Amino acid sequence: MAFCRLVLFASKLNKVAKKLRTEKEAAVAISRREKPKYGWRLRLAHVWINFKKRIRNCFINLYFLRNTAFDRFLFRLRKYGSFENYIFKSILGFIGGYVLTYLLFMFLAVQLNVRLSVATLICCVLGCILTIGLAFSQKI
């Protein structure tokens, strides 16, 4: 498993290095006042980056949201270690455990044709563990 993880990480690094090389070549071409050769992937990446910048600037420049209680709440919600962030993650973990339990029940009842009473007992036991475990996990 660790070997597969390393292979995937190495392939990601190769993709990023290749993208960096093409970006550098384009930057050198621009500095020489030549027209750079962009591939379709690089053009798509630039379009996506520009789109994200426009959306971010649109939301950042909203004047009525600055220094309001809602803005401060959203900041604390995103800040790791704050009380709001902990509560939000706990709620998401609880909902995630509930959804996973429901999916497990559907899988047992529909796909594996397990009796409903057995599927209910299995899901009750595993659901408690999943729901409480995901609600109070530090990894979420």
Specify whether 93 is located in the same domain as 124. yes
Specify whether 95 is located in the same domain as 48. no
Residue 68 is classified by DSSP as S
In a domain, 66, yes or no: no
The tokens of 70 are what? Answer: 């809602």
Domain extent, residue 28, equals 2-61
The answer to whether 119 touches 109, Cβ cutoff 8 Å, is yes
Kindly report, residue by residue over 41-78, the tens digit of the pLDDT.
Answer: 888 888 999 999 888 877 766 666 677 888 888 889 98
Specify whether 87 is located in the same domain as 125. yes
Specify whether 47 is located in the same domain as 92. no
Task: Count Cβ atoms below 10 Å from residue 89 Cβ, excluding itself.
Answer: 19
Give the predicted TM-score (pTM) of the model.
0.55
